[in-house]
Amino acid sequence: MSNLQELICITCPKGCVTTVWKEKGDIKIEGKICKKGKEYIKQEYIEPKRVLTSTVVVERSPIKRLPVRTREAIPKKKIFPAMNELSKIRIKPPLKIGEVIISNLLNTGVDVIASDDLL
């Protein structure tokens, strides 16, 4: 089966190892896994998502970098394109924590927000 994947559950410290595949449109999971873990593994199989955290360049301030993050998780495959977008950003103080730095990042519907105050 080409759609076979080995996935480790991270919902708890146990780190259960599962084998996941698609059969007639259904997602099958092999390996002992709890209810909460099942949901995670399914999502991870369909489309793995991650919250991206990084920094952007600050100008005209003794502070050199501002930490930022995506407000919600974005598809894993968009992480490097997103880093590329972040590298183009130049900001100046003042900015408050939670302020939008990039709205609708790469059409994901997710904003990039400041994760610290920049005074």
Partner 1 sequence: MTTIRNLDLAIIGSGPAGLAAAVKAKQLGIKDLVVFERDERPGGILPQCIHNGFGLQKFKEELTGPEYANRYIQMAQAHSVDIELDSTVLEIDPNRNLTAVSEYSGLRNYHCRSIILAMGCRERPRGAIGIPGTRPAGVFTAGQAQRLVNIEGYMPGENIVIQGSGDVGMIMARRLTLEGAKVKAVTEIQPYTSGLIRNEVQCLHDFDIPLMLRHTVAEIHGDKRVEGVTVVEVDTDWNPIDGTEKLIACDTLLLSVGLIPENELSKLAGVSLDPQTGGAYVNEVLETRVPGIFSCGNVLHVNDYVDEVSNQGEIAARGAFYRIKNRMPAREMRISIAGDQTVGQVVPQTISGELPVTFYIRVKRPMQKMALRIGEIFEKKIPYARPSEMIQVRLSKKSFSQMEPSTTRLKVSCED
Question: Residues interacting with partner 1, by CB under 8 A?
Answer: 8, 10, 13-15, 50-51, 53-55, 57, 64-65, 67, 69, 76, 79-80, 83, 97, 115-117
Cβ count within 10 A of residue 88: 9
Answer whether 5's CB lies under 8 Å from 20's CB.
Answer: yes
Nearer to partner 1, 14 or 36 (CB): 14
Least distance CB 25 / partner 1 (angstroms): 27
Least distance CB 10 / partner 1 (angstroms): 4
35: buried, middle or exposed (CB in 10 Å: 19+, 13-18, 0-12)? Answer: exposed
